[in-house]
């Protein structure tokens, strides 16, 4: 399958994963995964529970430096770069369970990553702009425990995108949200993508992932079994079987 379909497929390659694998003890959670992502793309990375999506994300983010294979990000081999060094190069992720600093206000939660990255210039203004981008400016001085679930997801997105990442991996940003809340997060992700951020969406909410993605890559039991235009991928027997558990 060609992969990129009629998406902006001729853009610069932002990410190239080659033969990525990860073992936990004797168990291969991920095996031989190749993936190419181009600038501006909206890619859905799907697969049943336990198929390796988060493991792939953790390998890419630098959490598992002992993985097999290699990543090149904007042409640079990531090698043993730490998660922090990868973030500085424009790689961002959200976590399945938002992890705000519970003792800090909403705006302080954004100022911390900005300061950590050495962006001391006007961090207050920049942090407020980030919150405006996710419609949370009105809650800037609240504590995370005062936020609703969808507001926490929006804060997580603001935290992840405060440094203007080149590539954002949104890992189950919509789990447990209502239909209307899923639409809120989708709208934010579309907005980020329109502003130039390449996005990999890892999601079980199929309505959202099919609406969002120009391309789908499917993992089953740690291997990539499909990669291409959503309609074609979802019609593939291997994908149907994986989802129907046959
Ligand atoms: N730190 C770990 N130690 C041992 N096994 C792990 C570890 N992390 C993941 N696994 C196993 O690796 C496999 C892939 O897990 P992973 O979390 O990557 O799947 P996933 O596709 O993200 O699942 P989900 O959709 O449920 O989040 C699973 O069998 C999981 O139990």
What is the CA(23)–ligand 1 centre distance, in A?
Answer: 10
pLDDT tens per residue, range 131-186: 998 999 999 999 999 999 999 999 999 999 888 899 999 999 898 899 999 999 99
The answer on pLDDT for 239 being more than 90 is no
Q: How far is the CA of 214 from the centre of ligand 1 (A)?
A: 26
Contact of 97 with 152, CB cutoff 8 Å: no
The predicted structure's pLDDT at residue 1: 37
Tell me, using a 6 A CB cutoff, whether residue 33 lines ligand 1.
Answer: no
Closest residue (by CA) to atom 31 of ligand 1? 50
Task: Give the homologous superfamily in CATH for domain 1-87+200-246.
Answer: P-loop containing nucleotide triphosphate hydrolases (3.40.50.300)
Is the pLDDT reported for residue 70 higher than 90? yes
Q: Is the CB of 52 under 6 A from ligand 1?
A: yes
Map out the domains of the chain as residue ranges: 1-87+200-246
Contacts of 46 (CB under 8 A, 6+ apart): 53, 202, 203, 204, 206, 209, 216, 217, 218, 219
pLDDT digits (tens, 9 = 90+) for 29-49: 999 999 999 999 999 999 999
- What is the sign, positive or negative, of the torsion defined by CA atoms of 242, 217, 208, 169? positive
Three-class SS of 36-72: EEECCCEEEEECCCCCCHHHHHHHHHCCCCCCEEEEE
Q: In terms of DSSP bridges, do strands 198-202 and 167-171 run parallel, antiparallel, or are they unpaired? A: parallel
Handedness of CA 51, 57, 59, 63 (dihedral sign): negative
- ipTM entry: 0.97
Q: Which of 48, 53, 173 most suits a substitution to test ligand 1, by most atoms within 8 Å of the C-beta?
A: 53
pLDDT surpassing 90 at residue 74: yes
Contact between 155 and 100 (Cβ < 8 Å): yes
Higher pLDDT pick, 140 / 246: 140
Report the nearest-CA residue for atom 10 of ligand 1.
Answer: 29
Q: What are the structure tokens assigned to 245, written together?
A: 């558990």
40 CA from centroid of ligand 1 (Å)? 28
DSSP symbol at 107: H
Parallel, antiparallel, or unpaired for β 27-38 and 13-24?
Answer: antiparallel
Ligand 1 pocket, 49 CB below 6 A? Answer: yes
Binned at pLDDT 50, 70 and 90, residue 200 comes out as very high
pLDDT digits (tens, 9 = 90+) for 76-102: 999 999 998 999 899 999 988 888 999
Given the CA of residue 25, which atom of ligand 1 is nearest to it?
Answer: 4
Whether the CB of 51 sits within 6 Å of ligand 1: yes
pTM of structure: 0.92
Q: How confident is the model at residue 9 (pLDDT cuts 50, 70, 90)?
A: low
Please count the residues of the chain. 246
* 179 touches 102 (CB < 8 A): no
pLDDT on residue 176: 87
Q: Residue 198 — pLDDT band, cuts 50, 70, 90?
A: very high
């Amino acid at each position: 399958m060609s992969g990129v379909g009629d998406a902006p497929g001729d853009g610069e390659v932002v990410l190239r994963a080659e033969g990525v694998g990860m073992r936990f003890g004797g168990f291969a959670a991920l095996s031989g995964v190749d993936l190419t992502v181009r600038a501006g793309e909206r890619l859905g990375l799907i697969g049943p529970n336990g198929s390796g999506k988060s493991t792939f994300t953790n390998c890419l983010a630098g959490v598992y430096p002992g993985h097999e294979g290699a990543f090149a990000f904007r042409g640079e081999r990531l090698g043993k770069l730490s998660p922090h060094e990868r973030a500085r190069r424009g790689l961002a992720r959200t976590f399945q369970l938002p992890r705000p600093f519970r003792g800090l206000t909403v705006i302080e939660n954004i100022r911390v990553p900005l300061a950590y990255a050495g962006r001391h210039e006007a961090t207050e203004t920049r942090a407020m702009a980030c919150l405006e981008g996710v419609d949370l400016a009105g809650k800037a001085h609240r504590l995370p425990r005062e936020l609703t679930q969808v507001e926490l997801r929006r804060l997580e997105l603001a935290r992840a995108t405060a440094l203007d990442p080149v590539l954002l991996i949104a890992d189950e940003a919509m789990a447990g949200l209502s239909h209307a809340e899923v639409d809120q997060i989708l709208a934010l992700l579309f907005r980020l993508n329109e502003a130039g951020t390449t996005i990999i969406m890892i999601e079980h909410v199929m309505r959202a992932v099919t609406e969002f993605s120009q391309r789908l890559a499917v993992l089953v039991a740690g291997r990539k079994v499909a990669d291409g235009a959503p309609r074609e991928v979802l019609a593939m027997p291997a994908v149907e079987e994986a989802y129907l558990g046959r």
